[in-house]
Amino acid sequence: MKEIGVGIVGTGWVSDEYIRAFSMNSHTEIRGICSRTIEKAEYKKQQHNLEHCSLYTDYEKMVNQSDLDIICILTPNFQHAEQTIIAAEAKKNIVIEKPLATDWNDMKKMQKAVHDNKVRTIVGFVLRWNPLFKTAKKFINPFCFGSPIEKMAKSRTVLLLTFLVASQER
């Protein structure tokens, strides 16, 4: 078996990307998948041919699996804070899909749990290096469109990049 065990919570489309990335790493292995239904977890296991992967509907049971070193939180945003704190208290390193949290107080609780338990975390902002986003960023400046008031991007097979910008007074 590989040396670093990974647990995935959340079985939406982004989980496929994480599973593929960890599967390509010679040091990591997906050893746990947690979903709201065991059928969704089983589907991901079969879809990616995961041999040594336990399936869960109970997040805390997965987090306490002894051979997991990293927990990937790929669930709806409102669940990130609670799941991060649980993983940190179990001394697991954590990958959190963006956004980190839905409010400032939750983020501070997450930060405290991570700090107190001396675990590592990273937020999955993988599109920041996408060439399309870098190009779009060059066009966003006060001289072209005004000041941005919102940036939103969605990606699956087609990348939709939308910028809502304030009108610039001349």
pLDDT at 119: 95
* pLDDT tens digits, one per residue of 90-115: 999 999 998 888 889 999 999 999 99
Residue 129, token pair as written in the block: 């290096």
Question: d(Cα 85, Cα 92) in Å, to the nearest integer?
Answer: 10
Calculate the CA dihedral of residues 70, 74, 76, 80 and round it to 10 degrees.
Answer: 20
**Extents of the domains making up the chain:** 4-124, 128-165
What is the model's pLDDT at position 127?
Answer: 65
Please check whether the domain covering 4-124 is classified as CATH 3.20.20.140.
no
The per-residue pLDDT for 110 is: 94
Retrieve residue 28's tokens: 């990591």
Provide, for the chain, the percentages of residues in helix, strand and coil under a 3-state DSSP scheme, each rounded to the nearest 5. 40, 25, 35
SS3 at position 15: helix
∠ CA 101-115-14, rounded to 5°: 40
How confident is the model over 23-62, as pLDDT tens digits? 999 999 999 999 999 999 999 999 999 989 999 999 999 9
Provide the 10 A C-beta neighbour count for residue 34.
Answer: 28
- The three-class DSSP label of residue 106 is helix
Contact criterion met (CB below 8 Å) for 68 and 93 = no
The residue length of the chain stands at: 170
